[in-house]
Amino acid sequence: MTEQFPSYRGQMEYVCLGCGARYPIDELLYTCPSCGGVFLLEDTTFETLKDHDGGYWRTLFDERASTRNTALRGIFRFYELMAPVLEQEDILYLGEGNTPIVDGAPELQKFLGVSFAFKNDGQNPSASFKDRGMACAYSYLRALVRKHGWDEVLTICASTGDTSAAAALYGAYVGHPIKTAVLLPEGKVTPQQLSQPLGSGATVLEIPGVFDDCMKVVELLAERYRVALLNSKNSWRILGQESYAYEVAQWFNWDLSGKALFVPVGNAGNITAVMSGLIKLHRLGIISELPRLFGVQSEHADPVWRYYSTPASMRKYEPVQVRPSVAQAAMIGNPVSFPRVRTLVDVYESAGGTFGVVQVTEQEIMDATIAANRHGHIACTQGGECLAGLIRARELGLIASDEKAVLDSTAHALKFIGFQNMYFTNTFPQEYEITPDAALANTPVSVMSAAEKAQLSAEEFTGRAAKAVADRLKLAGK
């Protein structure tokens, strides 16, 4: 079915979480001009969506799941809840969203004594969930370009790797008048992640230091120069990432009772988006119960965990100095979306949801990642961090035995394969504090040397190699 593009248009505004000021969306704003606070985007006509009941929306979104209209096929299936100011012609679709939810392998679930599934957001076009946000941010940017007739737009972002991969991919697809530059902490993104913006033709600039250093630089650039900032300070990205929550709810037939969602927390944009999405579903009666929501952080980058593990009356937010983490995409000491989290947690909890943050060690993250992938999953280290978080939550008695956990595997395993190599070859630098389980080391085994092969005829070679393989595998003859 080629569905008609919806006629509903909302009225969106930037709302400052610092001072409450509101600004129109005809400009790309990142932070409040008056107080410097971060924004969330709000549809001021959202309440009119309540003219329809939850069942109406559930049916509509279920019907759209089979549409061939590409503007509604990906994350914009949930158009009315996300960015209902965009026109069909502005909407970009590169195949993002609609990522599979794969049940934990039976053996692994049994071994861990918990029921869980991974949502494989690494199966997005640039192999991470960042594509959800970029699809929305670039769609909005296209709307701005169309309206203003701009003939040159430079997008820029700081990145732990995946934001730049996504920004460069979507920028390359849109083409003129968009050009993309990315700022990376030198040596702190994986070779696979680095190859992505290079391959998409973006200008790649490296800065010594960690992500937090790059973030300060792009913020200053966004303040002083004409650039379009694509970090998650850009609230349009948050909107796009809400689609993750909508898809989880839809997959479970709009029933999230007894579910616990685990999300790795770095800059805290993703957890903000997931929470915001769930709140909207609940407000419209599309889901009747909010799931339990857990952020997960490594003890090497844990400012959000520190905040929420302190008794409410004594909480004080303080950035931390990060230490090397295998959950490198979440290795952030001063998350820019922390004020968003704090605001939304209050709303979430007053609507009956529960929110918590668990902290895990680097060892636990790596062990969980390896365990998942040895059971047929494709978890990145942040996905492994979620599994480690689930195990921790279970130990702490935060998860009931009849609950089902949905773990966000935010990127594809292949992006972080260097950490797997370090695990298998026991070559982690000291700072990671990881001792591999030697029994799990898996390395290629040579069947025959090239020199030996050179001595053999083609026939002898095949026979000798087959024999060596059979010996190695202890094959029985027939």
Which residues contact ligand PLP (rule: CB under 6 A)?
A: 128, 130, 160, 162, 232, 264-270, 329-330, 380, 382, 410-411
The single-letter DSSP state of residue 454 is: H
For Zn ion, which is the closer residue by CB, 21 or 447? 21
CA distances from 105 to 11, 21, 129, 218, 420 (A): 44, 48, 22, 42, 20
Bridge partner list, 205: 183
Residue 213, judged by CB atoms within 10 A of its CB (0-12, 13-18, 19+), counts as middle
> Using CB under 5 A, which of the segments 31-39, 111-119, 168-176, 445-453 binds Zn ion?
31-39
Choose between 115 and 232: whose C-beta lies nearer to ligand PLP: 232
Residue of 4, 8, 24, 35 that binds Zn ion (CB under 5 A)? 35
* Contact predicate 118/383, CB 8 Å: yes
Burial of 474 (0-12, 13-18, 19+ CB in 10 A): exposed
**Could you say which of Zn ion, ligand PLP, none residue 382 binds, taking C-beta under 5 to 8 angstroms by partner kind?**
ligand PLP
**Does 172 participate in binding Zn ion (rule CB under 5 A)?**
no
Residue number, 388 or 411, with CB nearest to ligand PLP: 411
CA pair distance 88, 86, nearest whole angstrom: 7
Shortest Cβ 407–ligand PLP spacing (Å) = 12
Which of 189, 284 has the CB closer to ligand PLP? 189
* 32 contributes a contact to Zn ion by CB under 5 A: yes
Supply the minimum distance, in Å, between the C-beta of residue 39 and Zn ion: 8
Minimum separation from the CB atom of position 291 to ligand PLP (A): 18
Minimum distance from CB of 330 to ligand PLP (Å)?
4
Q: Which of 6, 18, 258, 418 binds Zn ion (CB under 5 A)?
A: 18
- Nearest distance in Å: CB 337, ligand PLP: 7
The residue from 6, 13, 21, 375 that contacts Zn ion (CB under 5 A) is 21
Classify residue 314 by burial, with Cβ atoms within 10 Å: 0-12, 13-18, 19+: exposed
Which listed option, Zn ion, ligand PLP, none, makes contact with residue 326 (CB within 5 to 8 Å by class)?
Answer: none
Which CB atom, from 10 or from 264, has the smaller least distance to ligand PLP? 264
Residues with Cβ within 8 Å of 283's Cβ and at least 6 positions away in sequence, in order, are 46, 50, 351
264 binds, among ligand PLP, Zn ion, none (CB under 5 to 8 A by kind): ligand PLP
> Could you give the C-alpha distances from 257 to 8, 108, 252, 262, 282, in angstroms and in order?
30, 23, 10, 15, 12
In whole angstroms, how far apart are CA 451 and each of 128, 296, 346, 378?
A: 43, 51, 68, 37
Binding at 37: pick from ligand PLP, Zn ion, none (beta carbon under 5-8 Å per type): Zn ion
> Per DSSP, which regions of 389-449 are E strands?
404-409
436: how many CB neighbours lie within 10 A of its CB? 19
- For helices 269-283 and 338-350, give the axis angle rounded to 10 degrees: 30
Nearer to ligand PLP, 139 or 160 (CB): 160
Residue 21 binds what, of Zn ion, ligand PLP, none (CB under 5 to 8 Å, by partner type)? Answer: Zn ion
- Binding-site partner at residue 324 among ligand PLP, Zn ion, none, CB < 5 to 8 Å by type: none
Residue 18 interacting partner from Zn ion, ligand PLP, none (CB closer than 5 to 8 Å by kind): Zn ion
Least Å from the CB of residue 224 to ligand PLP: 24
Instruction: Round to whole Å and give the CA distance between 248 and 5.
Output: 23
Binding residues for Zn ion, total number by CB under 5 A: 8
**Closest distance of CB 24 from Zn ion, Å:** 15
Residue 37 engages Zn ion in binding (rule: CB under 5 A): yes
| DSSP annotation string for 247-315 | HHHHHTTT--TTEEEEEE-SSSHHHHHHHHHHHHHHHTTSSSSPPEEEEEEETTS-HHHHHHTS-GGG-
18 versus 209: smaller Cβ distance to Zn ion = 18
**Binding partner selected for residue 234 from Zn ion, ligand PLP, none, CB under the kind-specific 5 to 8 Å limit:** none
Residues 6 or more apart whose CB falls under 8 angstroms from that of 312 comprise none
Side chain identity, residue 119: K
Residues that bind Zn ion (CB under 5 A): 16, 18-19, 21, 32, 34-35, 37
